[in-house]
Structures are given as C-alpha cells and as structure tokens.
Amino acid sequence: MSPTSRFASIRNGEALDFSMIPVVPMDEFRSAILKMAAANHRLCALFGASKDGRPPGGLLAVLADDIGGKLYLAASRPVASYPSLTPDLPQAHLFEREIHEDCGIVPEGHPWLKPVRQVPPDKVAFFQERGAEVHEVAVGPIHAGIIEPGHFRFQCHGETVHHLEIQLGYQHRGAERLLGAGPDRRSLSVAESICGDTAVAHAWAYCAAKEALAGAAPSLRGEAIRAILLETERLANHIGDIGAISNDAGYLPATAYFGRMRGDFLNMLMVVSGNRYGKGILKPGGTLFDIPDEMRASMIETVRRSIVQVKEVGEMFFGEPSVISRLEETGVVSRKLCEDLGLVGVCARAAGADRDVRQDHPLGLFRFRHIPVIRLNSGDVFARAMVRFLEAQRSLDFLRGLLDHLPEGTTTVPCGEPGPNRLAVSLIEGWRGEICHVAKTGRDGRYEWHKAVDPSFHNWIGVAMAMRGGEISDFPLCNKSFNLSYAGHDL
C-alpha cells in the first residue's frame, strides 16, 4: 500500500469537501506521516483541527510533494495524547508544541514541550548549561534598535555560543482566532496584519483560500497585478535586507544606497495601492485598483532604472573583500539541517534546497510566467545575502516583462460566498518563504477555523542552529541575514 492512500490530494489553491479527507486512527496517522516524510514530502502544517480547541480533538496534517506539485491532507481521530512525532520527524517540533498549547493534546516524548506564544516568557523554563567557565547572556525582549520584541538566551563559553534558545510570544494578537470568526469585513485586514512587511503575500494567501472555498477564479489582470505587488514587496524587503546586513557588517556606503532603493520599491507599492506596504489592494476575486497606462509607464521607468542601480550597488557590496570575509562562513546552516527542520524560503535556498512555491506549487500568474529559482550551497550569511541579491534581479526582470505585457480585462470578478463544509489550502512564496493558509468552513459557509503558517514559524529554529559553535558577536549579523518576523510567529 502506498503511503499516499491515507491522504486526500489537492493542488495549491484548491478546495475539497471536508468529508473527502480520510480520518484515520492516530497510530496510522502518525506512521503515514513518517512514511510520507521519508519519501521527501514536507510538513507544511500540522495542527489541531477541532472547532473549539478543547481536548480530545483530531489533528490535521498538510504535506507537500514539491516535485509532483501536490498537497496531501489527512486527519486523525480525536485523541488526548499520542506518541510525539518530533523524535522521528524534527520538523514537527514547533507544530507539536503549538498543538499542546492550543488544544491540550499531549505529544508524549516531545523533547522540549514548552509553550510557544501564549504564556508569559518569564514563567517558562530555559535550557541551561552548567560548568565553571560557562556563562549565560540574556538579550531582549526590549532591544537596542527599533525592532519587535523577542527574548534570546545564549549559553556561552567565552565568545563561543554553545546553545541559543529563542523565546517569542510577545506579539500574540489572536490573528487566527479573528480570522476563524470570519469571513467578515475585517478578515482581509487581519490577514494583512499577520506580518506587516508581508502584507501582500498573506493577503494573497487569504484571498486564494477564500476563492477556492467559493469556487471562484480571479480575473487574469487581477492575478497579474497581484504578482506585480508580490514581487515588488519581495524587492523592497530583499533590497532593504541586504542594506541592513551591510549596516551590521559596518559597510556604510552600501547601507545608504540600498536603503534609498528600498524606498523606491515601497513608493511603487504606494503608487499602486495607496499604502507603502501594499495593504488594502487585494480582495477576493482580484484587486481593488487597476494599473492605468500612465502609472504603468512610470513603473516601467522605475524598474528600468532599478535594474541598473541594484546591479551596480550589489557589485560594489559583494566586490568588497572585507565584506566577503565578514559574511562568509558566518552562521552556516547545512542542507541536511534545512531538510530535517523543514526550513523554507531564502535560508533554505541559500543552503542548496530546491524549494520555491512559485516553482513547485505555482498559483495565479506564476502558472504562466516562471521565475528561475536561485540556489546556493554554502548556507552562510553570504549565501543568504547573495540569494536575496540574485532573486531581486530576477524579480526585476519579471516585473519588466510583465509590465510590458499586462493582460487586458477587468481587475476583479465577483467572488461569491464560501461553500459549506469545505477545506482549502493556499501556499504563497512570500519574500521570507512559504506562507500557508488552511481554511475550513462549517455548515453555514462561515469559517470554523483558519490556520496561518508564516515562514518565520519554520525558520526561527534555523537561527538558533546557525549560532551553534559560532561567535556571539556574529549573532546580530546572522539574525539579520534570516530577518524573521516576530509577529508572524506569534500570530
């Protein structure tokens, strides 16, 4: 029997009747997931799927086959406890902690079962190393820069970091609960606020799930404008990130130039959507605003100019020997670690993983226009910066091509209301990595629950791993090269 027989299969941005998802006993559910994982399937989401979140409830798993472009879904019968997946499947570690926190289901034998986000961090235990010359450094939750709150606990021996534990949860706002109360007029705004710098990608994931539930297909021009916004968001953040990495490395000219260019892309979002972070333009069925010809011409001009500037400044930055020696071999994450921990996005591609939703599970316009996937092998800060630089250039090329040939037609079609008892999954490659939204409607067509997984949820453990054996003074640079979201993790 093939392992996929325990699963219902759909493609990205599709919905199915909830009754189509096989509900199996827990031990079968567990072994099926392990078999699928052994056959190179990746865990996109694993969560308690009961409405009220009280035990006993069932679990629901979404696994991705990146080569076949399919998503596999399975549910377990309600349980109060089960043998933890984490010892056999490390990428489940945070999902199981979340299940324990949200639903009270106990994954027995989980190596580090502590709260994820809903308990005040001063009430939780931290891993501690003991020894004569070992010392502990605690950083945050209030930081020296204007950034989000998060607590970092280092176990150090001199300058060498033995272990880093990251405790988040300061930004928990109940986004999933608010989304699950929908669909209503504020649902989309909530989705856009899951992570403020990824507003377009989360809004798209939300819209795609709702369209799938309602059985609607958005207009082609709307899809094209969404793709333009998504890539512009990627550009703004990638360029801003390289500038920030340059700042932490102490290389000032590139910081200044990249910082200015980030403004160009934010302004482009502003022109199209009326908001520098691209909020308020996407809606189920398409987009709220069109790109008129005059605006399109000015955007093409900006893109043309940026192609030259990004390349010039990037070559200056990556051509500076002191920069390269600072970035190379700092904060290395191996390919094996990426696969084991299920890391996604820039940091996975920097370590050589061929993982990009735009290629593996294309949605919307990415079905027709492809963006080459950038992969590097070293998995260090340099690779993460370089992947951003190369991806920014590919996105600029994509924008130039698409803006020249924007599909005709209306920007939006009526979306309709979601059908009853259906479940939809949507994956979007945001600039950090894979965003996964899973929505389930009840009998009345309203959401029973709405699950959102930000790439930061997968990747924070990558920061901790990258620091092992490294120097504590490299942490800021290493952290910046991941640039993960606190709000996206805390929801």
Partner 1 sequence: METLKLVASDLLMVVFAPPIMLGIIAKTKAAVAGRKGPPVLQPLYDTIKLLGKGAVYSKTTTWMFRLGPVVSLAAVIAAAALVPLARAPLISFNGDAILFVYLFALGRFVTITAALDTGSSFEGMGASREAAFSSFAEPALILAFASLAYRSGGLTLARMFAPYGGPSAAASTVLALGSLFVVLLAENSRIPVDDPNTHLELTMIHEVMVLDHGGPDLAFILHGAELKLALMASLLVRLVMPEMPLVGAVGSLILGLAATAVVIGLVESSMARLRLIRVPQLLVAAICAATFGLLLTLR
Q: Report the interface residues with partner 1, using CB under 8 A.
A: 135-139, 144-145, 158-159, 246, 248-253, 255-257, 260, 320, 322-323, 325-326, 330, 471-477
Nearer to partner 1 by Cβ, of 423 and 467: the residue is: 467
| Distance in angstroms (rounded) separating the CA atoms of residues 145 and 378 | 29
Among the listed residues 243, 240, 242, 226, the one whose alpha carbon sits nearest the alpha carbon of residue 278: 226
Quickly list H helices, 120-219. Answer: 175-180, 187-192, 199-214
- Judged by CB, which is closer to partner 1: 462, or 476? 476
Q: Which residue has the tokens 């500037």?
A: 309
| β-strand partners of 441 | 447
CB of 253 to partner 1, least distance (A): 5
Which residues are CB-neighbours of 260 under 8 A, at least 6 positions away? none
Considering beta carbons, is residue 312 or 444 the nearer one to partner 1?
312
In the complex, what is the shortest distance from the CB of residue 254 to partner 1, in angstroms, rounded to a whole number?
9
Nearer to partner 1, 85 or 383 (CB): 383
Output 13 or 140, the one with its CB closest to partner 1. Answer: 140
Query: Residue 52, class by beta-carbon neighbours within 10 Å (0-12 exposed, 13-18 middle, 19+ buried)?
Result: exposed
**Rounded least distance, CB 159 to partner 1, Å:** 7
State how far the Cα of 418 lies from the Cα of 164, in Å rounded to an integer: 44
284: left (phi over 0), alpha (psi -120 to 50) or beta: beta
Q: Centre a 10 Å sphere on the Cβ of residue 483 and count the other Cβ atoms it contains.
A: 23
The span from the CA of 153 to the CA of 143, in Å, is: 13
Nearer to partner 1, 1 or 146 (CB): 146
CA distance 225 to 407: 9
Shortest Å distance, C-beta 35 to partner 1: 43
By three-state DSSP, how is residue 489 classified? helix
* CB 236, min distance to partner 1, A: 20
Between the CA atoms of 420, 422, 428 and 434, what dihedral angle is there, to the nearest 10 degrees?
Answer: 130
**Main-chain phi, psi angles of 57, to 5 degrees:** -135, 170
Q: How far is the CB of 326 from partner 1 (least distance, A)?
A: 5
C-alpha distances in Å from residue 395, one per residue of 172, 229, 271, 417, 428: 32, 11, 18, 34, 15
Identity of the residue, 136 or 301, whose beta carbon is nearer to partner 1 in the bound complex: 136
Q: Which is nearer to partner 1, 246 or 412 (CB)?
A: 246
Nearer to partner 1, 3 or 476 (CB): 476
- Among residues 27 and 159, whose Cβ is nearest to partner 1? 159
State residue 429 phi and psi, 5-degree precision.
-85, 90
Instruction: Find where tokens 């403020």 sit.
Output: 196
By beta-carbon proximity to partner 1, the closer residue of 237 and 255 is 255
- Nearest-approach distance from CB 299 to partner 1, in angstroms: 24
Least Å from the CB of residue 467 to partner 1: 11
Question: What's the half-sphere exposure (Cβ side, CA atoms, 13 Å) at 240?
Answer: 15
The Cα–Cα gap between 202 and 7 comes to 26
> Which two tokens mark 289?
């605003």
Q: To the nearest whole angstrom, how small is the minimum distance from the Cβ of residue 330 to partner 1?
A: 7
Shortest reach from residue 379's CB to partner 1, in Å: 17
Measured CA to CA, the distance from residue 251 to residue 74 in angstroms comes to 50
| Three-point CA angle 220, 359, 205, nearest 5° | 55
- For residue 229, the SS3 value is helix
User: How near is the Cβ of 315 to partner 1 at its closest, in Å?
Assistant: 15
